[in-house]
């Protein structure tokens, strides 16, 4: 059983790295189109949201299918969501801002911070995207077994931030696109569905606790 889980984790890891390998290959093969920076930005952003949604879907799928071993992969998939989010952020910083300032001959830390600050202040989709990525930082830091032991029940409460990160990611996508909003609408629908399932489970769990405590209260 342990060997099976180990090989399953290797397979999931390989699948999670496949998008990164694909975009790297396309870059070396010069198959990123007329605007490579824009292509990489959208590609990494899409996969950030997709991995967030997969992470959120693992728990309800696990409960519905009774495939409880799926929980073994949630932390890995969540970390890959953070990985692609960082790539998305670095694409904006390095391939957009740094190269533009370098072309102008004005590349230094102060000018970079100034340009980033202006973009964050002027473009609301960047602001909400930064919030979404920022919410993922404590989740990535506390993803180790040591932090799970230290935080105890608080760990689950902290990791509910992933919902707000996913919502911020969808809003970021909505505000970014100009015409075709079909994909962000689909992501929004999936997030809403996953939140709805969570709410249903929470209500059911609360009702069970109330029914269990009622006989004890009557006996007292």
Domain-located, residue 189: yes
Q: CB atoms < 10 A from the CB of 151, how many? A: 14
Domain-located, residue 219: no
Cα–Cα distance between 83 and 89 in angstroms, integer?
10
Report pTM.
0.88
Domain-located, residue 172: yes
Domain-located, residue 218: no
Q: What is the pLDDT of residue 122?
A: 85
Q: What is the pLDDT of residue 207?
A: 80
Q: What is the pLDDT of residue 41?
A: 92
Q: pLDDT 10s digit of each residue in the chain, 220 long?
A: 567 777 888 899 999 999 999 999 999 998 988 889 989 999 999 999 999 999 999 888 888 887 767 778 888 999 999 999 999 999 999 888 887 777 767 777 788 888 888 888 888 899 999 999 999 999 999 988 888 888 888 888 888 899 999 999 999 999 988 778 889 999 999 999 998 888 888 788 788 777 776 665 555 4
Query: What are the residues whose beta carbons fall under 8 Å from the beta carbon of 20, sequence distance 6 or more?
Result: 83, 84, 87
Domain-located, residue 47: yes
Which pair of tokens denotes residue 192?
């809403």
Cα–Cα distance between 79 and 83 in angstroms, integer?
6
Q: Could you tell me the residue range of the domain that residue 7 belongs to?
A: 2-205
Cα–Cα distance between 122 and 120 in angstroms, integer?
6
Domain-located, residue 130: yes
Domain-located, residue 213: no
Q: What is the pLDDT of residue 80?
A: 96
Which pair of tokens denotes residue 135?
């919410």
Confirm if 151 and 158 have CB atoms less than 8 A apart.
yes
Q: What is the pLDDT of residue 65?
A: 81
Domain-located, residue 46: yes
For the chain, the domain total comes to 1
Q: How far apart are the first and last CA of the chain?
A: 46
Cα–Cα distance between 198 and 113 in angstroms, integer?
40
Which pair of tokens denotes residue 29?
């093969």
Cα–Cα distance between 145 and 5 in angstroms, integer?
17
Which pair of tokens denotes residue 84?
């692609």
């Amino acid at each position: 059983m342990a060997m099976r889980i180990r090989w399953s984790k290797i397979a999931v890891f390989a699948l999670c790295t496949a998008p990164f390998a694909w975009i790297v290959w396309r870059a070396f093969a010069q198959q990123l189109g007329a605007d490579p920076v824009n292509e990489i930005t959208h590609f990494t952003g899409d996969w950030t949201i997709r991995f967030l949604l997969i992470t959120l879907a693992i728990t309800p799928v696990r409960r519905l299918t009774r495939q409880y071993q799926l929980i073994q992969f949630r932390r890995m998939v969540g970390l890959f969501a953070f990985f692609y989010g960082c790539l998305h952020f670095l694409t904006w910083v390095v391939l957009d801002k740094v190269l533009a300032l370098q072309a102008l001959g004005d590349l230094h830390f102060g000018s970079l911070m100034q340009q980033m600050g202006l973009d964050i202040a002027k473009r609301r989709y960047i602001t909400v995207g930064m919030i979404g990525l920022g919410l993922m930082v404590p989740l990535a830091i506390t993803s180790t077994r040591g932090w799970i032991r230290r935080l105890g029940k608080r760990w689950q409460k902290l990791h509910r931030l992933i919902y707000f990160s996913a919502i911020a990611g969808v809003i970021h996508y909505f505000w970014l696109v100009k015409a075709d909003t079909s994909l962000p609408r689909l992501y929004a629908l999936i997030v809403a569905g996953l939140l709805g399932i969570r709410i249903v489970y929470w209500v059911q769990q609360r009702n069970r606790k109330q029914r269990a405590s009622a006989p004890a209260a009557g006996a007292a």
